[in-house]
């Protein structure tokens, strides 16, 4: 499916959240829906729509005193690590075969040079080259987490700068959940990454993958753990908010 087809398919949706959990309301969700109108976490910078038509549709620009410094395409999740640093993750879509890794990227916003060139050309190039972002300054860090093995907890050595993070909850597609998803089933996994402990796991979301949803039209967008109960809450576009059960594969 081309980016234009995906754009027509999903742009009509809007995030739906009935959750009162503050951690979920503040959890990273996919761009552009969960970026625009939200604080960037970096003083003096804000997220703005690149435009509403053509190559600009769906792109989001991080803008500061000197103008735009970073463009994000669809399905980037952004987590501020401190008042100057953003963690961005993205998984490239594949129609079939082994799923791509989740790519973690760290951007030091004060170090980002202004974008060079007009936005329309930059966005056209980004999509033609299937890149999830554009910046004049490369990320300070890039790190891949594989998604082809939905197994028990697996060891993984994270970069030193990410090790203070106790947990990242990342929604991903996994070909080990389903090697050939179709109109009647999905391959959604919940990645629980623990940079501090040097491990991660991917838990198949059976409740969703076999739940008779309209896949590609109804989808889960973000999750967060309740620090009081330990339960994981989530919501999405065109689906009701949910809470996972103790297995993390079903919902209550």
Give this prediction's pTM.
0.90
**Do residues 88 and 142 make contact, with C-beta atoms less than 8 angstroms apart?**
no
Name 225's bridge partners.
232
* pLDDT for 175: 94
CA distances to 42, 51, 94, 107, 159 from 142, rounded to whole Å, are 20, 28, 20, 9, 9
Question: Which one is predicted more confidently, 240 or 1?
Answer: 240
Helix (H) or strand (E) holding 243: strand 242-243
Q: Is 140 exposed, middle or buried (0-12, 13-18, 19+ CB in 10 A)?
A: middle
pLDDT digit string, tens, across residues 53-112: 889 999 999 999 999 999 999 999 999 999 999 999 999 999 889 999 999 999 999 999
Under the banding of pLDDT at 50, 70 and 90, the label for residue 182 is: confident
With CA atoms as reference, report the closest residue to 11 among 47, 50, 57.
57
Dist CA 118 CA 220 (whole Å): 33
Q: What is the pLDDT of residue 165?
A: 97
8 A C-beta contact, residue 18 and residue 240: yes
pLDDT at 10 over 90: no
How far is the first Cα of the chain from the last one, in angstroms, to the nearest whole number? 33
């Amino acid at each position: 499916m081309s980016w234009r087809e995906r754009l027509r398919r999903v742009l009509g949706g809007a995030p739906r959240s009935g959750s009162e959990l503050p951690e979920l309301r503040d959890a990273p969700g996919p761009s552009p829906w969960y970026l625009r109108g939200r604080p960037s976490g970096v003083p003096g910078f804000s997220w703005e729509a690149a435009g509403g038509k053509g190559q600009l549709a769906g792109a989001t620009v991080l803008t500061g005193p000197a103008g735009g410094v970073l463009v994000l395409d669809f399905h980037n999740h952004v987590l501020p690590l401190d008042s100057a640093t953003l963690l961005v993750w993205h998984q490239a879509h594949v129609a079939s075969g082994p799923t791509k890794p989740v790519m973690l990227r760290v951007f030091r916003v004060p170090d980002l040079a202004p974008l060079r060139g007009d936005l329309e050309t930059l966005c056209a190039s980004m999509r033609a080259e299937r890149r999830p972002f554009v910046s004049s300054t490369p990320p300070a860090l890039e790190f891949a987490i594989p998604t082809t093995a939905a197994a028990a907890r697996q060891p993984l050595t994270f970069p030193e700068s990410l090790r203070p993070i106790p947990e990242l909850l990342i929604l991903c597609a996994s070909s080990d959940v389903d090697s050939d998803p179709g109109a009647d089933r999905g391959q959604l996994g919940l990645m629980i990454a623990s940079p501090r402990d040097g491990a991660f796991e991917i838990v198949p979301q059976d409740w969703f993958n076999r739940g008779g949803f309209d896949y590609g039209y109804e989808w889960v967008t973000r999750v967060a753990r309740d620090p009081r109960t330990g339960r994981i809450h989530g919501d999405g576009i065109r689906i009701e908010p949910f809470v996972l059960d103790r297995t993390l594969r079903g919902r209550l």
